Chain A
Amino acid sequence: MTVWYATALILSIAVFAIVIYFARRSDTYQDLDRRIQSEADLTAGILAESYHARGVLVEKDTAGRPVLTPEVAAVLEVVPDFLLVTSRDGRLLFASPDARALTFAEFEQLNAIARPPTTGGGASHLPGRFRIDPNGPTMHYIVRAVPDAGDQFGAIFAGADTRSSELRLQQLLLTIVIAFFVGVVPAILVGGWIAGRALEPVDRMITEVREITDGRSLHRRLAVPMERDELGRLAETLNQMMTRLERSFAALRRFTADASHELKTPLTVVRAGVERAITRPDMPPETLAALEETLQEVNRMTELLESLLTLARADEGRADLHRESVDLRDIIAEAGETGELLAEHAGVGIDIRLPSEPVVLPVDRSRIRQLALNLIENAVKYTPRGGQVSVELGTNDGRAVFTVADTGIGIAPGDLPHVFDRFWRADSARTRTSERAGTGLGLAICKWIAEAHGGTIDVQSRPGRGTTFTVGLPRG
């Protein structure tokens, strides 16, 4: 914000300064041109007037060269800059003090220009510019005829170099630069301060809203400023929105609680009946088998229900973890034993590698166990007989890294982004396993568990080659 403001300010002032500089520059040069023009005109006027008054304006000096009459020359002496007056045949009649101060070579250059441009003497104004000294200042000059002063005169050359003008322009430039720094730096500082003051309540509001909406403090509200300005109304609007959010979250929570009660109680009743019947000693085997199947289905429903409730609560942003310091090796070793049993049943090889050092992290033991078992069970399930499953726990850069790799059927690249989606199952997995698949929530739960611990879960896979799941958990 402040940066934008400063950039805009600097740009506009810079444009302003550039425009002023160039306008001033062209003004200065025009002034210069006007000055030499009027000098030339003045000289022509003086000569004309003197001619009318005296008739003769040129006389011979002691060396026999023609010069301007001393009286007239004295008048012209006061004209500044360079002024030359030549005779019709091109001889110099008068040179101003500035011109006389020039070196001979320079003087000759001026003299060459000052010769009458045309023999007819028709052209009265011939402005131009040149450099006497290649590195010196540019000289603006004008050459004009002297119409009303008899026939002795050839041309008047009036010229001025731009040294003084350029000096003035440089001063202007210096002034602009100084003014720029003196003006812009405080303007940016003050502007930044004002912007900061104006935006500070907004910043504060952003922080507050972020704190409130992180999940657990929806009952809090923003402090509404006294003034009913835009910010005050924004705070009010946000508060209203949060009230509605809080209400809908409360409704969801109530629904979750109600649903879990309303669904779990009948499940408990069914389970109680089945369990009581199945543990009766005198049941015929067929009845027992039917009861066992019922019990399995009750468990499936219970698991599905619990997964749904877990994910519903996760959506609500409630981590719901019961953390304690645990050596992950114990959890993975226990899950690994189960993995060995599953792998033996499926005819799949399995190896479990644990580090020699303890990997102690504050985690929810039962959730991490669920995560590990879920990944291992999946790996075994999707690996054909004769394949291999590798389970490894290690540390990397202060993180605990748990990988489960298999040489199973793999996941198509297009399916990879969806494996953690709820109720998602690859078509290949669906068609392959004639047995009934899981709830379709297993990996979604795994993802939630990893992320609720502040960790990550990633999957890499090549169809037909195998799949690797990697879980990273931060220490502390």
Chain B
Amino acid sequence: MKILVVEDDKTVGDYVRRGLDEAGYHVELVGDGDEGLRRASGRGANYDIMVLDLRLPKVSGIDVLRTLRDRGVGLPVLVLTAQDSVDFKVQALRMGADDYVTKPFAFEELLARVEALGRRPKAIAPPTLKVNGLVLDTGSREVTRDGKRIELTPKEYAVLEYLMRHQGRVMSRTLITEYAWDYHFDPGTNIVDVVITRLRKKIDHAKEPKLIHTVRGVGYVVRA
């Protein structure tokens, strides 16, 4: 799957490119609207998704979007914007954008939206996550360990899903909070710790091996 990223800021562009690369996409990065327009609407253009920053040198993102739609290019476009007012988002969507992500964004959010736009094959985002007898079905939202069903509240499920999706990698508290709550809590209230304690009771209590591990000062990791 081929993605065209149009972003003038090198660091952000690089970050998006590498992140999507790691997620298995083929990414091309261009730095201005002119070039983005030329590549997206040129002959032989075969992109599946376009990630478009709205503030660009030369031709603005809105103009790129408008010209693209005027030329009849139906390429799905994910807009990156620093403007989070509803008006502005509505304007972008009316101009033909398919979705948007507000800066500064968590990469997870960008990835989720790119996945949704690209309707990725199930092989890349498997509906069932497994870690050593712990099974999480993202379709039915059912969790079992060793075949025994475990009842989870929505937040417990969200935290566990996030950790299992990135099994073997340490996920920081902030990243977990962002994923499960989409809300900035006071850093002093470590709500993730409470959820982890509950999850441990339900998943790891009197079971071996323990699957949820703490990384001091950082966060948690799920690994066998």
Q: Which residues of A contact B (CB under 8 A)?
A: 257, 260-261, 264-265, 267-273, 275-276, 278-279, 281, 283, 285-286, 288-289, 291-292, 295-296, 298-300, 302-303, 306, 309, 313, 318, 320-322, 334, 337-338, 341-342, 344-346, 369-370, 373, 377, 380-381, 433, 435-438
Contact = CB atoms under 8 A, between A and B. Distances in A.
Contacts of B15: 269, 272-273, 275-276
Interface in B173-224: 173-175, 178, 181, 183-191, 193-195, 215-219
A345 B189 contact: yes
Contact of A320 (B87, B184, B215): B87
Contacts of A321: 86
B190 A345 contact: yes
Indicate the member of A260, A341, A345, A373 with the most B CB atoms within 10 Å. A341
Interface centre among B9, B153, B186, B190 (most CB of A within 10 A): B186
B104 A271 contact: yes
Contacts of A436: 186-188
B139 to A, nearest CB: 21
Given A288-B170, A345-B194, A261 B186 contact: no
A345 B188 CA distance: 11
Contact of A276 (B18, B174, B184, B219): B18
Report, as a range, how many residues of chain B touch the other chain: 35 or more
B35 interface: no
Interface of B: 9, 11-12, 14-16, 18-19, 55, 82-87, 103-107, 153-155, 166, 168-175, 178, 181, 183-191, 193-195, 215-219
A289 B218 contact: yes
**Dominant secondary structure of chain A at its interface with chain B:** helix
A292 B219 contact: yes
Nearest to B90: A322
21 contacts: A261-B55, A261-B82, A264-B82, A268-B9, A268-B103, A275-B175, A276-B15, A276-B107, A279-B107, A285-B216, A289-B218, A295-B175, A296-B174, A299-B174, A322-B86, A337-B154, A338-B181, A342-B191, A344-B194, A346-B189, A373-B183
A459 to B, nearest CB: 20
Nearest to A290: B217
A320 B86 contact: yes
A285 B191 contact: no
B168 A341 contact: no
B186 A267 contact: no
Contact of A285 (B174, B178, B217): B217
A256 B215 CA distance: 40
B156 to A, nearest CB: 9
B186 A381 contact: yes
A345 B218 contact: no
B172 A278 contact: yes
Contacts of A291: 172, 218
Given A271-B106, A275-B107, A435-B186, 20 more contacts: A261-B82, A265-B55, A265-B82, A268-B12, A268-B103, A270-B104, A272-B15, A272-B16, A275-B106, A281-B170, A288-B218, A292-B217, A320-B87, A337-B153, A338-B155, A338-B181, A342-B191, A345-B191, A380-B189, A436-B186
A295 B104 CA distance: 11
A288 B84 contact: no
Given A265-B103, A271-B104, A338-B181, A318 B82 contact: no
B216 A345 contact: no
A190 B195 CA distance: 78
Q: Which of B154, B166, B187 has the most CB of A within 10 A?
A: B187
Contact of B194 (A306, A334, A341): A341
Q: Which 4 A-B pairs have the closest CB atoms?
A: A289-B217, A435-B188, A272-B15, A268-B104
B166 A279 contact: yes
B82 A272 contact: no
B103 A267 contact: yes
Contacts of B171: 279
Contacts of A261: 55, 82-83
B176 to A, nearest CB: 11
A321 B87 CA distance: 9
A410 B54 CA distance: 46
A422 to B, nearest CB: 18
Contact of B184 (A302, A341, A369): A302
Given A268-B104, A341-B155, A370-B183, A292 B189 contact: no
Contacts of B189: 342, 345-346, 377, 380-381
Nearest to B18: A276
B105 A268 contact: yes
B215 A300 contact: no
Given A276-B19, A345-B189, A345-B194, A264 B218 contact: no
Contacts of B219: 288, 292
A285 B218 contact: yes
B49 to A, nearest CB: 19
A257 B55 CA distance: 11
Contacts of A276: 15, 18-19, 107
Contact of A273 (B11, B16, B181): B11
A263 to B, nearest CB: 8
B85 A264 contact: no
A377 B107 CA distance: 26
Contacts of B84: 260, 306, 309
Contacts of A437: 186
Nearest to A280: B169
A281 B168 contact: yes
A345 B187 contact: no
A270 B86 CA distance: 25
B216 A289 contact: yes
A341 B217 contact: no
Contact of B185 (A275, A279, A318, A377): A377
